Structure 1
Amino acid sequence: MTETAIDIAANSALLVIDVQKGFDDPSFWGPRNNPAAEENIAALMDLWQETGRPVVLVRHASRPGSVLAPDQPGHAFKDLVEERLGQEALLITKTVNSAFYGTPDLAAWLTARGIGQLVVAGIQTNMCVETTARMAGNLGYEVLVPLDATHTFDLAGPDGLSLTADELAAATAVNLQGGGFARVVSTAQLLSASGAAQLTA
């Protein structure tokens, strides 16, 4: 089957969700998947900045006691994000799963700039990334999710059911694309499409 070409808008916004140091604590979160996630996120940030496209950095502020609480070292962005912070990037702080329920208001910021396409990457795949992508789809944005620029952790559910991080990521891919919320793509596809769009712009 031939893949449909990806068209990256000149003002496509890259949402980098919760790439924070607190997620590096395996004693708190358990086993993770996709060790290449951070490298892929960095590559996307680099290209979005090089091509002058908007970058939105989202940071989770958890309740006291969490490694992501504002008074904890884990609240800080990982080094790969800190090293790429630019004055032009929008910084959103949230306390729930969706970046659309944060401060400042993401939807208002996007609307003011006429942005209709979002690329959603970050942590965790099946939590804040999926929730943000679902809500973006509901709000009418064109949403692209590079699954290999996300990662998550093994998770236990009801009645002894548990899923590995890879199983959860696969479920997210099916939920998002099968449910019509977003198109699931790879980092390589986005880098190629974004670069080609810039060269032909």
Structure 2
Amino acid sequence: MTDRPTISVVMCVENGARYLQEALDSIALNAMPDMEVLILDGDSTDDTVAIARRHALAPRILRQRAKGHPQALNQSLTEARGTWVAHIDCDDVWPAGRMRALWAAAEAGAGEWIFGQAVNCDAVLRPLGVPQPARLITASLLHHSIADRIGPFRTDITHGSNIDWAARASHAGIRFAPIDALVLQRRIHDSNLGVTGRPKAMRDLFQILRDHKARSGS
């Protein structure tokens, strides 16, 4: 592999052993030439690191330098070596063909941030609805240079930092490109950050909306 792989797949995880094997297997199912896999571990006390170390993907495993999801996302973009970056949560799954679909759009020059569709699923991956267009960092493939143009994820908000980042990217003129392909099975369960911290999530989202309106002058 070159020092600068084409694609970096990044996972930020803390105590994610419950679903980690399934997530890693789905990455392997979507393996691309010249692709690195990077895991940022937040001092897990379960079997997260052991599962990652014995997986055939042979991921590069690093310790998260600071607690918090946006802090981990910022480190992920610093540590990722790929020209393009894809993120996955430890409890989610990539369907077969995911990376091929996103990469085809990237190679065709469709945009700098390619988004697909996601479907919410229960704990055993039974769909809870139909696939929908999803401007989520975990349902996308983004060009690494975006981080240099719009700066880091905000660390003053716990929830929705990726929504704020996407709003800032839009304001900065980043070229978004939606594709008509299912790229993410998003597992909804009782330990999801968005479920356990819903009141704080709503406050953060209202703050993001206010800030976005201020940038837009509306």
- Superposition TM-score, scaled by structure 1 size: 0.38
The answer to which structure, 1 or 2, has the higher relative contact order (CA under 8 A, 6+ apart) is: 1
